Structures are given as structure tokens and as C-alpha cells.
Amino acid sequence: MTVPAPDPIPFSNTYARLPDAFHVRLDPDPVPDPSLIELNHDLCRELGIDPLALTPEEWGQVFAGNRILPGSEPLAMAYAGHQFGHFVPRLGDGRAVLLGEVVDVRGRRRDIQLKGSGRTPFSRRGDGRAALGPVLREYLVGEAMHALGIPTTRALAAVSTGEPVLRETALPGAVLTRVAASHVRVGTFQYFAVRGDRAALQQLADHVADRHYPWTREADQPCLALLEAVVEAQARLVAQWMGVGFIHGVMNTDNMAVSGETIDFGPCAFMDGYHPDQVFSAIDTQGRYAYANQPAMAQWNLARLAETLLPLIGSDEKQALEQATDLVNSFSSRFARHWIDVMGLKLGLSMADKSDIALIQGLLQAMQQGQVDFTLCFRHLCDAAEDETHDEPVRRLFAQPEALVAWAQQWRSRLRQDPLPPGERAVRMRRVNPACIPRNHRVEQVIAAALEAEDFEPFRRLLGVVRNPWVLAEADQAYARPPAPTERVYQTFCGT
Ligand code: AMP
Ligand code: MG
């Protein structure tokens, strides 16, 4: 008796069961010559997918959208969104299709989505495609975020299509396969709110609660509890971004996942030199999504989410508004708490509180003058925490070392009140202060090698480095270095 082979991807879909208003069913547009660039074997296994179940050629067909596997129910999701503050009532997946969902080996439901898979009814004037550069960038940054312990969507595969896409010039096309806790965005709620579709809003809220925040179902006011859960998840997420110098770049409401995962890395970047006003995105001309503005922008987005939920919160409109407003306002103190935790750990404090804000700000202010390298400064502080004679590498980062010297005295006196022994403290600090982040100039270099010479080795090597950010092998030390003046990247582009 022969046992039939299991499906290569064990799909089990729930979003597809939601009513027609939620999505448009359609197959991805096939591409002429798919070729698998990278398959994320670890993530495959996490999802219960055997990466060796198909050949690389077959996976290339699957993750280009040319071959639809059993159990997949491809669809484009509907959503709206505030883009740079302006509301667009109908955005939706213009170049993505959700293939379906799987329940991973830990029992968590995850979406598998193709990005760059062709036109959909939501494409407007776009071609539905993605260029190779942004696909490689999203792959690298997602894996880096994951390794840094920050909730994030991740890349499962990258495939080249064999078809050029037209941007300012013709560029090689690619498809990214993305895994997310879900692709429901603040903008998904806005899509139904602006249409006054209360029934759909309720179904969406229930879907999100079941998937991400099941305990809120039992609350006296489930929708209020759901809002609170999302507010809390975003406060934590943005604090974690701030702790690694991450700048999302396009925090529009359609790019904010209600799951609390980082999503839609467009022109995102990690900063090298610290400055709170740092912006990379070429389209963010007003600095709306600058580094230090990110908490306020997350809160703004959450206020938009709260507005959509008002009719579901309770029949007393005034009371619902007050309750939702209080929750949105609570973002500030929630964020502050997470930020103090994150930054306190970075400074080696086993328990930081409000009284440590001045210490944290003191370092950041000193770093701001002369734009000291964010990652290196905190990494070198790990050594300094272990041994006072190791201050020199930190000091050398500062154009005016006096500022650092004065700060270090306060830091040391604070550390003396902390119970951790110095050796243990340094070990812990090296687990929260990465040796390496995907620096922009490195990302640009690997993209250039892929575009100019179809050489993916630099991409793979950088991928290996960012997947293990806490230690850097001797041979990889160059990846820790900030860009030389000629290598500096001043702007990043969506590439859409
Ligand atoms: P993004 O800036 O990538 O978050 O996308 C914003 C909106 O534009 C979403 O509705 C996308 O689906 C859509 N979009 C972005 N790029 C393209 C493209 N090349 N073709 C069609 N739609 C696109
Ligand atoms: Mg988007």
C-alpha cells in the first residue's frame, strides 16, 4: 500500500472563509522564467514545510506563482489607508496575493503571501510587480529583525522572474514570499469603517481577536480589550525599533499590522550615526516618519484604528469615545515603559525605571552631537561595562569626548547601585546590543552585486551575518564598520 505524499505546504485557510467583501480571489500572474534565489529552510521547518519536498526548480515555480499547490486559495486582500496623512478609501493588495495560511509547529497560524505576483483589481496604475532590489532588502531586513528578537514578517523565499520591471529604468523583476502572523492592517478596519459596513467590521474584529488576541474574546468589552491589545503590541514594537535604530520609513495605516509585527519594509533603514530627526525615505519629504517621530505616528495610526472600532465598543457613543480615547492616550505611558526597559537593558541595568530617563537621554544627546554610530556605541559600552579601562573605543566615537566622559561617570555610579556583577552584565548587554545590523551601504552593495553581475553570494553572506547579530566572526568584522564617507547612503527608495 502506498501512502500518498503529504501536500508540500499544509494549507488551512481562514481569511478565505470571510465574506466576499474582504477579498478578491485570483491566481497570481505567471512569470516567464522563474528561478529560486533563496529559500528560507529554517522558516520552512518552522511552518511544517519540508524544504526538500520539492526541487529548487519546483519551489521556484511555486514561489513565482506559476504553480498553485493543493489547498492554496489565492486572494488579494481589500484595505484602505492613510498615506502620509491622506486617506485613500481603497488600496488593497495591488501586487500581492495571499496563497493561504498554515498552522506552524508551535500552533501559530501564519499567512503565506506572494509580493510582486502581478496585477490585481487593486493595482490602480501599478504593474503588480516588484523589483529585485527591494525584494532582497525586505529579505535581509526581515531576517535581521527576527534575529534581533523584534516581531516581524519574514521572507520565506525570493524568486527572480526573468522579466524586467520598469521603474526609472528597467530592473530585473522578482517575487518575495512573505510570512506574517496575518496581513490585517489598521487600513483593513478603515476599509469597512468608511463603507459603514458594521457587520464586516465585527467579523474582522472577531477574526483578529481569534488569531492574535484570543483572551480579549472573554473580556466584558471585547472590542475595547482588542484595541488595548493592539495599542500595547504597537507600543512594545516601536520601542524595540528605537532600541536598534530602525526607521520604518512608511508608517502609513496600511503598513501597520494589527498583529504587532513589523510589516511592509519599503524604504526602511537602520541608522548609522544617531540623530533623532534622521529620515531616509526619499518620499518622506516632511520627515513625518523620522526616527524620533515613530512613537507619535504609531499613536496617530492607533487613533485611526480606534475610530473604526467605536461602533463596536458599546451602544453609549459618548462612553465608547471616552474609553477609546483613554486607551489611545495610554500609548504614551506604555511606550515610555517599554522604551525604558529596552534602553535600560542596553545600558546594562537589570531594572530601569523612570528615574533612569535622564541617564538614557544624556547618552543620546551626547551621541547626537557629531552623530555617533548608534550600533557601535552601544556595542562598545558592553566592554566598558565589564572593565573601566575599556572606555577608549567608546570615547573614540565621539568628536567631543568630554561629553561622554561626564556621562560615563553618571553611568558608572548608577551601575554601582545595580546588583549585577560586571562580567554577567557585559554578557547580558551583548545579547541586546547587536554587533551588526544590516547597514544601508552593505544592503546597497549586495543589491548592486545582484543587479550588475547576478552575483547573489554577497547577499547570502550578509544574510548569514545578520542572522547572528550578537557575535561577529573574525572574518566578518568589516560588517560592523560604519560606512566610509563615500559609501554613505543618504536616501532610500520604495522601488514600487
Ligand atoms: P506600499 O507603498 O508598498 O505599502 O503600497 C501602497 C499601495 O500601493 C498598496 O495598495 C500596494 O498594493 C500598491 N502598490 C505598490 N506598488 C505597486 C505596484 N508595483 N503595482 C500595483 N500596486 C502597487
Ligand atoms: Mg504597504
The chain-wide mean pLDDT, for the chain, equals: 97
Concerning whether 197 is annotated as a catalytic residue, the answer is no
Q: How confident is the model at residue 286 (pLDDT cuts 50, 70, 90)?
A: very high
* Confidence (pLDDT) at 2: 79
Residues β-bridged to residue 165: 171
Per the DSSP assignment, residues forming a β-bridge with 100 are 112
Please answer whether residues 460 and 449 qualify as being in contact, where contact means their C-beta atoms are separated by less than 8 angstroms: no
pLDDT band at 5 (very low <50, low <70, confident <90, very high): confident
Instruction: Please tell me the predicted confidence (pLDDT) of residue 495.
Output: 57
Percent of the chain residues past pLDDT 90, beyond the cut: 94
- Average of per-residue pLDDT across 336-351: 98
Task: Give CA–CA dist 434/118, Å, rounded.
Answer: 37
Which tens digits make up the pLDDT trace of 60-99? Answer: 999 999 999 999 999 999 999 999 999 999 999 999 999 9
Measured from the alpha carbon of residue 89, the closest ligand is: 1
C-alpha–C-alpha distance, residues 216 and 460, integer Å: 41
Closest CA to 240 of 212, 270, 273, 280: 270
Predicted confidence at residue 4, as pLDDT, reads 83
Residue 55, H or E segment? none
> How many whole angstroms from 454 Cα to the centroid of ligand 2?
27
**Which cell numbers in the block locate residue 53?**
519536498
Q: Indicate the angle between helix axes 317-346 and 222-243, nearest 10 degrees.
A: 30
Substitution candidate for ligand 1 out of 125, 129, 255, 496 with most atoms within 8 A of CB: 496
Each residue of 368-392: pLDDT tens digit?
998 999 999 999 999 999 998 999 9
Ligand 1 in reach of 117 Cβ (< 6 A): no
- The reported pLDDT for the residue numbered 432 is 98
Query: Choosing from 29, 93, 254, 284, which is the catalytic residue?
Result: 254
